[in-house]
Amino acid sequence: MPDTAVLDIAYLDAIVERHGRDANNLLQILVEAQERYGYLPPAVVDALAARLAIPRVKIEGVAEFYSFLHLQPHGTYRVLFSDNITDHMLGSGALMKQLCHELWVEPGKLSEDGLVSVNATSCTGMCDQAPAMLVNGLPIANLSAPRVENIAELIRKRVPLADWPAEYFRIENHIRRKDVLLNSAFQPGSALAALLARGGAQTLDEIKLSRLRGRGGAGFSTAAKWEACRAAAGEQHYVVCNADEGEPGTFKDRVLLTSYAEMMIEGMTLCAHIIGARQGFIYLRGEYRYLLDHLQQVLQRCREQNLLGQDILGSAGFDFDITIHLGAGAYICGEESALIESLEGKRGTPRNRPPFPVTHGYLNQPTVVNNVETFAAASLIALNGGAWYADIGTPASSGTKLLSVSGDCESPGIYEYPFGVTVEQVLADCGASHTQAVQISGAAGKCIAPAEFGRRIAFEDIPTAGAFMVFDQRRDMFEVARNFVHFFAHESCGFCTPCRVGTSLLKNMMDKLAHGHGSPYDLTEIEQLDQLLLSMSHCGLGHSACNPVLDTIAKFRPAYDRRLAHREYVPAFNLDRALTQARQMTGRNDAGAHLGEYE
Amino acid sequence: MSSFTLDGQTVTFDAGQTIMQAALAAGIYIPRLCYHPDLKPHGSCKLCTVKVNGRQASSCTYQAQDGLVVESNTSELNDERRALLQMLFVEGNHFCPSCEASGNCQLQATAYELQMMTPHYDHFYPDRPLDASHPDYLLDFNRCILCSLCIRASRDVDGKNVFALSGRGINTHLIVNAASGQLADTGFSGDDKAAHVCPVGVILKKRSGFRVPIGKRSYDIRSIGDLAEPGES
Ligand SMILES: Cc1cc2nc3c(=O)[nH]c(=O)nc-3n(C[C@H](O)[C@H](O)[C@H](O)COP(=O)(O)O)c2cc1C
Ligand code: SF4
Ligand code: SF4
Ligand code: FES
């Protein structure tokens, strides 16, 4: 543990200097400071308040917003088990218990010797190689009981992470099906050469012709977004790549960042040319911290090849460069306006809209925010033309889509299909059998029952940001929905009343059913709460928090009916059990010391 | 002059006004808790949600536009507002009979106005210790509804940044600007705007309790809806 009295302030100063003493980089500074000190002791908060000339209350407020930042000691080893349903289906719950047992710690608490803490965290994007964990921010996948036993031993012996078996940290791409995007033998510089040959306005025309729509979920027209941003007045324009990939069950951006980063970066650069931006950001989720060095190297290679920097590819005045910002464990920062707040070093709270980022984004300047896959597709379109791309897929959903397939199937991984592929086809290709349900587009998405497996993946039928989680007949769909409800309660940013309180109420109600205190009354309550979330919430998180429950109630009603142990309302807690302590203290166990329900 | 309709009534507005501002100027009450006429709107409590051309929007942040059709006082919206109030009541610890703000509290008054009869949901009973460190003021966080009015007042009017939100989700809470976490160690003073904007009973002046007896306080005399007469803002 760092002694706050002898805190290495020189190191902190170097971090602050590297970030230009700019309070907009507060989150980046906190992330780096924590990597050094293990947590953010009061001395760091005070030093930063003085150096950045901001109130300490702001620093604390930011630090406590992000799950991965800590104002209290959290151990030399900080272990976080991925909490997605696909991790649980492969036994993560038991593995976490095992590790806690072997290390004598309680989940969420620091061990008495300050050595280790073990907790759960939202989906880490390793569902195709689950169960997974993060140790001091680095992912370990394919967890098993022997592996966990070994990890406990490594921690007990205080072996530095650098000396842990290298294969623990190996993350696979698992690309199972390639189409135009994953098959393209992309030559760095080729998309920018095409852009310069054709011209910016003409390239925008090609994007328009391609009918490319955003791959991050909402499916907004990419050309319309770029055009609006290009037309918006501002001192600076910005390009932001949304690599937050927080939607449970989604991991396709991880694979693109790992093996197709040049393509994405060139997509950002051609966007910069079109909208007139000189500065770009990649907002990389904290869970993908392990990709940071790799991405920095790719950026450096691009600079060396004059694909970034000044006068790109010799084109006078075409200046653009990219900075990577790390997230720190907050799903809401995938929402574009919360992402921008986070880029500005603040709590990731979604803004009031309008105005939208295309006119008032980063530092209130016109900003394009697109998903990783959208930028990669833009490169492909610049190379091959809009008409070529528009020919792929369906009329309303042109091109291809990467799916992150996980759950009950033989070959989980990345599948690229032209839009319009049926659910059935994907299930056949990934080797799924006895499938009961598919959750498409993550916790916020749709739950599809077998009768609908003929439906198509497309904006006009089943839209998706990429997650495709398969559940076979062994699975309890109530528990699936309950896992997602816990996710939303954990990730609600807390800004607006309906979602801050409503997602936690919903979580408690689902837990009440799970604990056998449910009655039809509770189901009606749940439905009303869902309605309220939908109509009153401030942003998409609150709006979609009800989806998993509404879908599963409609399609898997028996899973709920089984939980309705009572016909009439009963309270969430057992009154008689609540008296246990009083009975023990008074040494009584006669009928008079029990409530009526007791037999 | 530009105008929109609010529950069928024509409301005129000046350029740049929000629906809330225009309604207030016209003497029409739209329930609200995180809005204060002197401070930048925030849009977080969602009590002021109205339907604008059929879609929900926060009236305190939504710019008025010519020809909008706005619905506010409908049973559907009031039912949902009541549920929001119930959420705020169960999220904190509100023991109105023993609260110095009773009768002056906008949460309580809005609950009366919208005829909230019970808290309905299960209480969270959060553990929120008091801060009595300051010589003149007391902070009873049990009643905080996280409206951020004190934060905005301190930052934008007092230039002090005494308050901020911390935590996330249901663990969101108010903190003060001191390493000790105590109000006494901040630059807070009773002359601050922040000392006078809390809509509930968190920021309380010491040694002045119950000067005005219960029964004679603002909302004991008039309902909160009646206060929004022309000129109130
Ligand atoms: C709660 C929430 C989380 C989101 N998470 C992501 C994300 O992780 N990645 C992403 O690209 N878009 C995410 N989005 C969508 C973004 O707000 C935005 O629409 C998208 O980045 C735009 O890029 P696109 O047009 O290329 O899809 C999220 C939206 C919401 C409401
Ligand atoms: S809906 Fe939820 S996540 Fe979105 S602003 Fe409200 S509290 Fe935050
Ligand atoms: S203390 Fe009062 S003014 Fe400040 S956030 Fe809480 S309820 Fe609002
Ligand atoms: S008054 Fe508009 S959201 Fe609170």
Task: Domain ranges for chain B, please list them.
Answer: 2-73, 99-221
Is the beta carbon of A541 within 6 A of some atom in ligand 1?
Answer: yes
- Nearest CB to A42 within list B164, B177, B179: B179
HEC readout, A408-471: CCCCCEEEEEECCCEHHHHHHHCCCCCEEEEEECCCCCEEECHHHCCCEECCCCECCCCEEEEE
Distance between CA atoms of residues A341 and A369, nearest Å: 13
Check A58 against B166: CB less than 8 A apart. Answer: no
In eight-state DSSP terms, residue A106 is -
The pLDDT of residue B134 is above 80: yes
Instruction: Identify the pLDDT of residue B227.
Output: 59
Considering every ligand atom shown, identify the ligand nearest to the alpha carbon of residue B138 and give its number.
3
Instruction: Identify the pLDDT of residue B226.
Output: 86
User: Residue type for A357, please?
Assistant: P
- Length, in residues, of chain B: 233
CA–CA distances in Å: residue A451 to residues A419, A423, A424, A479:
20, 11, 10, 21
In sequence order, the β-bridge partners of residue B166 are: B173
CA–CA distances in Å: residue B78 to residues A18, A66, A77, A180, B55:
52, 34, 50, 52, 15
Q: For B2-73, CATH number?
A: 3.10.20.740
Q: Give residue-wise pLDDT tens across range B179-227.
A: 999 999 999 999 999 999 999 999 999 999 888 988 899 999 899 998 5
Instruction: Identify the pLDDT of residue A598.
Output: 44
Residue B44 with chain A: CB contacts under 8 Å: 495-497, 538
Which atom of ligand 4 lies at the shortest distance from residue B60's CA? 2
Helices (H) and strands (E) in chain A, counts: 26, 14
The number of beta carbons lying within 10 Å of the beta carbon of residue A178 is 14
Helix H or strand E segment including A58: helix A56-63
Percent of chain B with pLDDT over 70: 97
Domains annotated on chain A, with CATH:
9-65 (no CATH), 77-172 (3.40.30.10), 177-390 (3.40.50.11540), 403-453+462-473 (3.10.20.600), 478-561 (1.20.1440.230)
The alpha-carbon gap from A155 to the nearest alpha carbon of chain B, in Å, equals 29
Q: Which residue of B has its CA nearest to A538?
A: B44
The token pair at A11 is 């190191």
In sequence order, the β-bridge partners of residue A283 are: A242, A325
Q: For B99-221, CATH number?
A: 3.30.70.20
CA–centroid distance, A351 to ligand 2, in Å, is 10
The pLDDT of residue B230 is above 80: no
Considering every ligand atom shown, identify the ligand nearest to the alpha carbon of residue A540 and give its number.
1
Alpha carbon nearest to ligand 4 atom 1, residue: B32
Instruction: Identify the pLDDT of residue A596.
Output: 66
Check B175 against A489: CB less than 8 A apart. Answer: no
The token pair at B87 is 């959420």
On the question of a common fold for B2-73 and B99-221, the answer reads: no
The pLDDT of residue B101 is above 90: yes
Mean pLDDT, range B120-141, rounded to an integer: 97
Determine if residue A478 is left, alpha or beta; phi over 0 gives left, psi from -120 to 50 gives alpha, anything else beta: alpha
Selected for mutation to probe chain B from A57, A65, A538 (highest B CB count within 10 Å) is: A57
Contact B156, B40 (CB under 8 A): yes
Percent of chain A with pLDDT over 90: 91
Instruction: Identify the pLDDT of residue A2.
Output: 47
Which atom of ligand 3 lies at the shortest distance from residue B146's CA? 5
HEC readout, A464-510: CCCEEEEEECCCCHHHHHHHHHHHHHHHCCCCCHHHHHHHHHHHHHH
Q: Inform me whether the C-beta atom of residue A489 falls under 8 Å from chain B C-beta atoms.
A: yes
The token pair at A412 is 């989980």
Considering every ligand atom shown, identify the ligand nearest to the alpha carbon of residue A282 and give its number.
1
Contact B85, B47 (CB under 8 A): yes
Give the strand pairing for A467-472 and A435-440: antiparallel
Check B91 against A500: CB less than 8 A apart. Answer: yes
Instruction: Identify the pLDDT of residue A252.
Output: 98
The alpha-carbon gap from B229 to the nearest alpha carbon of chain A, in Å, equals 27
**In whole angstroms, how large is the CA radius of gyration of chain A?**
25
Of A353, A496, A497, A546, the one to substitute when testing ligand 2's pocket (max ligand atoms within 8 A of C-beta) is A496
Residue B145 with chain A: CB contacts under 8 Å: 497
DSSP, collapsed to helix, strand or coil, labels residue A298 as helix
Kindly indicate the confidence band of residue B233, based on its pLDDT and cuts at 50, 70 and 90. Answer: very low
The alpha-carbon gap from A491 to the nearest alpha carbon of chain B, in Å, equals 7
Instruction: Identify the pLDDT of residue A488.
Output: 98
DSSP, collapsed to helix, strand or coil, labels residue B51 as strand
Q: Which residues of B touch A (CB under 8 A)?
A: 41, 43-47, 49, 56, 58, 61, 63, 80, 83-84, 87-88, 90-91, 121-122, 124, 145-146, 161-172, 175-179
Residue A57 with chain B: CB contacts under 8 Å: 161-164, 166, 175-177
User: Can you give the pLDDT of all 599 residues of chain A as single tens digits?
Assistant: 444 445 788 999 999 999 999 999 999 999 999 999 999 999 999 999 999 999 999 999 999 999 999 999 999 999 999 999 999 999 999 999 999 999 999 999 999 999 999 999 999 999 999 999 999 999 999 999 999 999 999 999 999 999 999 999 999 999 999 999 999 999 999 999 999 999 999 999 999 999 999 999 999 999 999 999 999 999 999 999 999 999 999 999 999 999 999 999 999 999 999 999 999 999 999 999 999 999 999 999 999 999 999 999 999 999 999 999 999 999 999 999 999 999 999 999 999 988 999 999 999 999 999 999 999 999 999 999 999 999 999 999 999 999 999 999 999 999 999 999 999 999 999 999 999 999 999 999 999 999 999 999 999 999 999 999 999 999 999 999 999 999 999 999 999 999 999 999 999 999 999 999 999 999 999 999 999 999 999 999 999 999 999 999 999 999 999 998 888 888 887 778 788 888 988 988 888 888 765 44
CA–centroid distance, A494 to ligand 3, in Å, is 14
Q: Which residue of A has its CA nearest to B92?
A: A501
